[in-house]
Amino acid sequence: MDVNSIDIENNDQKTHINDTADNNDNINLNDKSNDATTGSDTDIEQPNNDTESTEKSDNEEDMDDADTDDDDEDDDEDDDDEDENPPLLKYTRITKLPQNFFQRDSISACHFYDNIFLFGTHSGLLHITYPDFTTIRTLKCHRSSILSIDTDGSYFITGSIDGTVVIGSIENESDIIAFDFKRPINSVVLDNDYKNSKTFLSGGMAGDVILSQRNWLGNRVDTILIPKHSSKGSSSSSFSVLKQPILGIFKLNDVLIWINNEGIIFLDIPTRTTLLTLSLKDYLQTDGYDKEKDLPIDLFKPYVHHLENSRIIIGWCNNIWSFKVTSSNSNSRKKRHQTSRTSSSSSQPRLDNKRFNATTTNSNIGSILSSAASSFRGTPEQTVELEYHFKISMLLSGIASFKDDQVMCLGFDIIHSDFTEEKMEIKLKSLPPQLKIFDLTTSDEIYQDEIVCKNFQNLSLNDYHLGKFIPPNDDGGNPPQYFLISSSDAIKIQEFKLKDHYDWYIEKNEFGKAWDIGNYAVSPKERFQVGLKYIDKLIHSIAVSNPNKSAAMSVSTAAPTTHNTISEKISSIFEQAYNGSKEVNDEELNEFIKDNWSRIISKFLDFGKIDLIVNKVPQEPKLDTTIYDSILDYYLDNGNSLKGINEFIEILEKWSKYSCFSTNYFEEKLEHKIELHNELEISYRNAVILLYLHEQRYSKAIIHMIKTNDQRIFDILSTHNLLTQFLDQIINIILLPYFRNNIENDTSKINNLSNDEIEAVFSDSIQLIASNRNRISISKLIKRFQKFPNLSRILFVILRRLSKVDPQLITQYETELIGLYIKFDKPNLLQVLKTKSNYDIEKVIELCSKEENLYNELIFLWGKIGETKKALSLIIDELKDPNLAIDFVKSWGDSELWEFMIQYSWNKPAFITALLEYPDEYNETYIKVIKGMRNDVEIPSLSKTVGKITRENFLSLKVNKNIYQIVDDETTGYAIDFLKLTQKGKIFQNNDDDGIGL
């Protein structure tokens, strides 16, 4: 159908910003006192972002609480909000809009694109702005309300209730044209490549979806789209043959969507084939639609939004549908389209700010003409499927994708009493709109806010518009922005960012939560200042919980678990702040941190609660010495119990390696307390030992270590060669290992221990003496032990060790050593007597003679001095061991001693028998013994012994005779051979020149 073009009025004058705009028009989602007297009971408090005022652009202002009296609430009311979570969204009123947006005219349609925003009004004006709402230009497009806007970034298109469509260039004001379709236009879609194709779609009250294109003569040619049904989609016979008004036209890649009162149609552009037909009547009937109870959905405007390149969300009345577009041959078919960022418009919503840029001609709606003219239409390569459908408890005036399969919905809560079938209208005025977020997969309502706009009492459902815009960014990191536009107001909606959460927590005095997230939101110094506020709040809570300071001064009182958590939090705040200052090399911040550490510690000292924080007092950064001194003084002066002084020592031990306190001051103070000799004396000594060791003043430390039985003394004396300075205390030092396990210090039982037990108990002492053997006098050591007879076994073990490691050193003390062997180690005495040679034999013989059963030792000693007869007599008389006696005589090889043994044994049968049985080379012993035997002595088994001797002599004689015969025979043979040799002659040949020869 041909329609004549009409002229368009162009308003070249740009609308300026209203300088008199109310710059303090803040909205409170709880308080409707700005514009209304009644409203919803929902209370959702919105943040006051005063801290961001320097970061916001001039065209925005925060929507703060109108009732400033709330700021004066006491701390108890603040505590009630401790568990309150920050809101999901924040709202900012836009003030930099053309002045006549809200004063002379109201917005009827809007569209948000990458680089431009477009706003249509009820008077037919079109405002074109940059994304920051700076006006590009304003022009008069229509005589009445603009109902639909679309753009490709270079051209725009508008459709109006006056039946006209206007298309113009954004940059070239003269490039503009209008078309009159004679019937109200509800929706328009501009081709992606309009500059070349000059193609667009429109639809409205005429009931047709019209594809319009300018031919080569410049005339418009219209084609009414009648889809071909495909077996892949679903068509419904319930669609009326009569034309129904087109409520909306939308496009996603190769899919064209239009909606009328009958339902929703999805069209495949390349094949002009219906992919899916959703009959509103049939669908709602199967979904339990009740005409008398449910709302007349066909009276409402549909909204379409693209979640992604293959998903479509449709909101209509109180229904939400989710559709998925799937390619049926994705492996063989190249992707035709590429996606960009999200945009949305109340009249023509899309996922992307930019259109889906085509890589093939089929992406353009002009390709419908090619497929319509072709006699062959291919099979669609994609399908559309319904994923989800659910009803919500609100009437929609706009939708936009949010995140994670969530959809943001703007509208009004349904109140059925407002709907009367007779009047066929819904009364929504005087109610503020609701903003809700739903999960598409579960249909659950996730979030809800009540938005109080200006003049909301006089606005209704179609007076509100919801759009989505993602600012361009190379890395795609900009968060999306949502815009709520009404005929009286414009509000930017944004998801709460980290900095917003931070500011919200600050406003609510929840400094701890603000600190937790502040690391990525603010500078280290600003975050630390918030941390200090949180710490002061914690300290105040401690003080309030225990106002009795005297009771709090008791360091023995265990801190509750919550207090331990408080100390951890305080320490974490300071530690992170200090690490942050080091990273940025901020010396000023570093000093600020140290000053506040000192201040906080002083507060805990004043409250008597230093035990809650003492384990967190830092060594880096190192605070002023007076702080550490004050803490130590607190524990030393108030620790009047063992537990208290032990806490002092524990802190002292922890801090000693850092040299952070006045060591000399506490050494003098502890020495003074030691002189009092009270029940804490040992603890004071332990403390001063710790200090002296840290200062490497070992000589002073050892004095106290002896008193406290400190076992570390052995390492110190050995490492630093200090034993010679404490020889007067050497006995006490040696006894330290014993006192470690014997509290009563009773040494009377030491000699009752075995040598192995002494070796084990006093191993450190013995090793100390052995390692210092060349620095101490062994004679003095022996003399000191001689004063304590009950410690003689210790001396024995020490001297025994020295004799092994340095025999030469102990040579002159062998007599004392052997004397100790006689007392404590008789089994090894004989071996020592044999290996040692510098002892006093007579003294040792005297000592051995006093002891019983030391015969072997005496025999050895008598033999060693030549008193062999005495030794032999001892063997015969005491040991009565004939074999030992014989061996003893043989070892000396003395014939006189042998005669003595024979004579001494004549009256001893056992010895006579042994001598007779003793082998004798010449049998002299037999003869002497037998001759000297007394006749009155009875020899057991004498006959057997004599018979044995006789047999042995006979055998010996026979052997000797045989040997003689063998020798004789061999001698005779050698003699004969010799005679034969002597009888032989020799012939000599003489070859001399004289011829003489034999």
Show the tokens assigned to 842: 């007579």
**What does the pLDDT look like over 511-532, one tens digit per residue?**
989 988 888 888 888 999 999 9
pLDDT at 690: 92
pTM: 0.60
Query: Is a pLDDT exceeding 70 seen at residue 612?
Result: yes
d(CA 604, CA 613): 8
Mean pLDDT of the 736-743 span: 77
Show the tokens assigned to 375: 């006699």
**What does the pLDDT look like over 68-125, one tens digit per residue?**
344 444 444 444 444 578 888 989 988 877 666 666 678 899 999 888 999 999 989 9
Mean pLDDT of the 783-809 span: 92
Q: Which of 133-142, 228-237, 595-604, 901-910 has the lowest mean pLDDT?
A: 228-237
Domain segments of the chain as ranges: 497-544+563-616, 866-940
d(CA 837, CA 825): 18
d(CA 901, CA 915): 10
Q: Quick one: pLDDT band at residue 8, thresholds 50, 70, 90?
A: very low
Query: Is a pLDDT exceeding 50 seen at residue 242?
Result: yes
Mean pLDDT of the 438-463 span: 89
Q: Quick one: pLDDT band at residue 239, thresholds 50, 70, 90?
A: low
d(CA 661, CA 606): 20
Q: Quick one: pLDDT band at residue 426, thresholds 50, 70, 90?
A: low
- Going by C-alpha positions, the residue among 42, 785, 69, 836 that lies closest to residue 451 is 42
Can you say whether the dihedral through the CA atoms of 751, 753, 758, 759 is positive or negative? positive
pLDDT at 297: 73
Q: Quick one: pLDDT band at residue 931, thresholds 50, 70, 90?
A: low
Q: Quick one: pLDDT band at residue 10, thresholds 50, 70, 90?
A: very low
Backbone angles phi, psi at 545, to 5 degrees: -70, -25
**What does the pLDDT look like over 868-919, one tens digit per residue?**
777 777 777 677 677 777 777 777 666 666 767 666 666 666 666 666 666 5
d(CA 531, CA 574): 8
Hey, is 384 helix, strand or coil? strand
Hey, is 528 helix, strand or coil? helix
Query: Is a pLDDT exceeding 80 seen at residue 12?
Result: no
Q: Quick one: pLDDT band at residue 184, thresholds 50, 70, 90?
A: very high
- Going by C-alpha positions, the residue among 149, 78, 145, 144 that lies closest to residue 110 is 149
Show the tokens assigned to 355: 């259109």
pLDDT at 271: 83
Helix (H) or strand (E) holding 312: strand 311-316
Q: Which residues contact 211 (CB under 8 A, 6 or more apart)?
A: 199, 200, 201, 222, 223, 224, 225, 365, 366, 368, 369
Asked if 893 and 899 touch (Cβ cutoff 8 Å), the reply is no
Q: Quick one: pLDDT band at residue 643, thresholds 50, 70, 90?
A: confident
Helix (H) or strand (E) holding 955: helix 942-982
For the stretch 684-710, what's the b/e string if a residue is b when 16 or more beta carbons lie within 10 angstroms of its beta carbon?
A: bbbbbbbbbbbeeebebbbebbbebbb
Three-state SS string over 781-815 comes to HHHHHHCCHHHHHHHHHHHHHHHHHCHHHHHHHHH
Distance set, CA 795 to CA 274, 710, 722 (Å): 112, 22, 21
Query: Is a pLDDT exceeding 60 seen at residue 750?
Result: yes
Residue of 68 and 443 predicted with greater confidence: 443
- Going by C-alpha positions, the residue among 155, 187, 331 that lies closest to residue 257 is 187
pLDDT at 476: 55
Query: Is a pLDDT exceeding 80 seen at residue 946?
Result: no
Mean pLDDT of the 645-657 span: 88
Percent of the chain past pLDDT 90, that is, above it, reads 30
Asked if 252 and 265 touch (Cβ cutoff 8 Å), the reply is no
Mean pLDDT of the 759-769 span: 92
pLDDT at 720: 92
Query: Is a pLDDT exceeding 60 seen at residue 659?
Result: yes
Please identify which residue in the block is written with the tokens 């405002």.
127
- One-character DSSP codes across 344-359: -BSSS-BSSSS--EES
Q: Which of 1-5, 671-675, 676-680 has the lowest mean pLDDT?
A: 1-5
Query: Is a pLDDT exceeding 60 seen at residue 30?
Result: no
Q: Quick one: pLDDT band at residue 262, thresholds 50, 70, 90?
A: confident
**What does the pLDDT look like over 686-703, one tens digit per residue?**
999 999 999 999 999 999
The set of long-range contacts for 562-567, using a CB threshold of 8 Å and a minimum separation of 24, is 563/609, 563/612, 564/612, 566/538, 566/542, 566/612, 567/612, 567/613, 567/615, 567/616
pLDDT at 178: 93
Residue of 342 and 210 predicted with greater confidence: 210
Q: Which residues contact 225 (CB under 8 A, 6 or more apart)?
A: 208, 209, 210, 211, 256, 267, 272, 368
d(CA 583, CA 3): 71
Q: Which of 168-172, 238-242, 653-657, 724-728 has the lowest mean pLDDT?
A: 238-242
d(CA 40, CA 31): 10
Q: Quick one: pLDDT band at residue 747, thresholds 50, 70, 90?
A: confident
pLDDT at 746: 76
Mean pLDDT of the 727-756 span: 84
Asked if 87 and 46 touch (Cβ cutoff 8 Å), the reply is yes
- 859: number of CA atoms within 13 Å, CB side? 22
Query: Is a pLDDT exceeding 90 seen at residue 186?
Result: yes
**What does the pLDDT look like over 948-993, one tens digit per residue?**
667 777 777 788 788 888 888 889 888 888 888 888 877 777 766 5
The number of beta carbons lying within 10 Å of the beta carbon of residue 798 is: 24
Three-state SS string over 143-200 comes to CCCEEEEEECCCEEEEEECCCEEEEEECCCCCCEEEEECCCCEEEEEECCCHHHHCEE
pLDDT at 909: 67
Q: Which of 256-260, 296-300, 734-738, 915-919 has the lowest mean pLDDT?
A: 915-919
**What does the pLDDT look like over 307-344, one tens digit per residue?**
777 889 999 888 899 999 988 654 444 444 333 333 44
Query: Is a pLDDT exceeding 70 seen at residue 739?
Result: yes
Q: Quick one: pLDDT band at residue 941, thresholds 50, 70, 90?
A: low
**Highest mean predicted confidence (pLDDT) among 6-15, 364-373, 512-521:** 512-521
For the stretch 771-782, what's the b/e string if a residue is b when 16 or more beta carbons lie within 10 angstroms of its beta carbon?
A: ebbeeeebeebb
**DSSP state, 228?**
E
Average pLDDT, whole number, for the chain?
77
Alpha helices by DSSP H, listed for 446-521, are 498-507, 511-517
Please identify which residue in the block is written with the tokens 């506020």.
533
Residue of 611 and 543 predicted with greater confidence: 611
pLDDT at 284: 60
Sheet order of strands, 107-112 included: 107-112, 117-121, 125-129, 135-140
For residue 138, list its beta bridge partners: 127
Backbone angles phi, psi at 251, to 5 degrees: -140, 130
Mean pLDDT of the 632-643 span: 81
- One-character DSSP codes across 667-716: HHHHHHHHTT--TTHHHHHHHHHHHHHHTT-HHHHHHHHHHTT-TTHHHH
Asked if 157 and 150 touch (Cβ cutoff 8 Å), the reply is yes
Distance set, CA 746 to CA 591, 735, 740, 749, 752 (Å): 58, 11, 12, 7, 12
Asked if 693 and 701 touch (Cβ cutoff 8 Å), the reply is yes
The number of residues in the chain equals 998
Mean pLDDT of the 713-734 span: 92
d(CA 901, CA 892): 12
pLDDT at 95: 80
Q: Quick one: pLDDT band at residue 52, thresholds 50, 70, 90?
A: very low
The number of beta carbons lying within 10 Å of the beta carbon of residue 993 is: 5
507, amino acid identity: E
Q: Which of 49-63, 705-719, 725-739 has the lowest mean pLDDT?
A: 49-63
